[in-house]
């Protein structure tokens, strides 16, 4: 049997009581809790209840605008990831509300899948922006898998991110691109973004005065459009749309953002296939 590769996972969190323990539980079960590295941004922040199971580092918070904060965070984590390659063969980095999966159809663990031999320096997963249907879905029960409670997602260029790295590299702001390098979208990987998975939690975030003071209002306004899309558009079957989306993202891009996928045109709302419902 082929040996699995050593894999580390990194994220950073601030002002969160919703996703951190879920992130720790999920990635710890995939790769081992000892291989998780979580930065808590702010000495005043409450630590996640599971933080002692992993490598957690509480660091001083420095106030920046939203855009500058994203840029600084990506640089910080990129530097840390480069240092981890002394010990690890693969390093993953993502936001605290992002969960990487391999298609359950393959009947293989995420660790075994990533341990295969890939020719690229990074991999992108197809991004699925999951939201609560405001009319027909209940608030999230944190004790149950998210995907057993949510049926809809928008296929998104924004979350088709190169979060898997096979060598030291420099992530751009928000991990949306690798600086100076192209991207490779894998056919079997999915990145579920859960920032809007619970409407009440999302609304609570929009009332955070510290976030509003650093320029988050426009971001919140844009993001909340997903709820209206879920309510008003007809969802396509996911498996029908996934291949089409990957081909578009792999070939279409803006001239000024050549190393990021271009946005899809038209309706990109899908119904999440049932086989994913117990993964996350």
Average pLDDT over every residue of 156-180: 94
* 245 is a domain residue: yes
Per-residue model confidence (pLDDT) at position 9:
98
* 256 is a domain residue: yes
Total domains in the fold of the chain:
1
* 175 DSSP 8-state letter: G
Residue 209 has pLDDT above 80, yes or no: no
Per-residue model confidence (pLDDT) at position 211:
56
Per-residue model confidence (pLDDT) at position 14:
87
- Over the chain, what is the mean pLDDT? 91
For residue 27, count other CB atoms closer than 10 A to its CB. 25
* 190 is a domain residue: yes
Residue of 85, 15, 165, 23 whose CA lies nearest to 38 = 23
Q: Which residues of 241-266 are buried (b: 16+ CB within 10 A; e: fewer)?
A: bbeebbebbeeebeeeeeebbeebee
* 265 is a domain residue: yes
Range of the domain at 217: 7-276
Q: From CA 268, how far away is CA 245, in angstroms rounded?
A: 9
Give how far the C-alpha of residue 217 lies from the chain's centroid of Cα atoms, to the nearest Å: 21
Per-residue model confidence (pLDDT) at position 5:
95
3-class secondary-structure state, position 250: helix
Torsions phi, psi of 192, nearest 5?
-90, 120
* 1 is a domain residue: no
Does this model's pTM top 0.85? My answer is yes
* 178 DSSP 8-state letter: B
* 250 is a domain residue: yes
């Amino acid at each position: 049997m082929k040996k699995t590769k050593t894999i580390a996972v990194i994220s950073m969190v601030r002002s969160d009581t919703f996703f951190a323990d879920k992130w720790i539980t999920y990635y710890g079960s995939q790769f081992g809790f000892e291989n998780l590295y979580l930065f808590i941004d702010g000495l005043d922040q409450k630590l996640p209840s599971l933080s002692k199971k992993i490598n957690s580092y509480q660091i001083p918070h420095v106030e920046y605008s939203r855009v500058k904060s994203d840029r600084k965070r990506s640089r910080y984590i990129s530097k840390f990831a480069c240092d981890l390659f002394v010990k690890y063969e693969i390093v993953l980095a993502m936001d605290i509300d992002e969960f990487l999966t391999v298609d359950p159809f393959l009947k293989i663990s995420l660790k075994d899948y990533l341990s295969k031999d890939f020719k690229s320096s990074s991999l992108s997963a197809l991004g699925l922006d999951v939201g609560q249907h405001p009319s027909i879905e209940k608030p999230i029960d944190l004790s149950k898998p998210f995907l057993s409670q949510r049926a809809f997602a928008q296929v998104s260029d924004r979350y088709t991110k190169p979060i898997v790295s096979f060598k030291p590299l420099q992530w751009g702001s928000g991990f949306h691109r690798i600086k100076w390098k192209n991207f490779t979208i894998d056919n079997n990987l999915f990145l579920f973004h859960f920032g809007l998975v619970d409407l009440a939690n999302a609304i609570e975030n929009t009332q955070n005065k510290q976030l509003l003071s650093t320029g988050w209002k426009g971001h919140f306004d844009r993001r909340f459009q997903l709820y209206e899309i879920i309510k008003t558009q007809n969802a396509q079957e996911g498996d029908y749309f996934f291949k089409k989306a990957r081909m578009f993202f792999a070939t279409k891009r803006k001239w000024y953002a050549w190393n990021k996928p271009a946005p899809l045109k038209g309706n990109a709302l899908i119904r999440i296939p049932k086989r994913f419902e117990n993964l996350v």
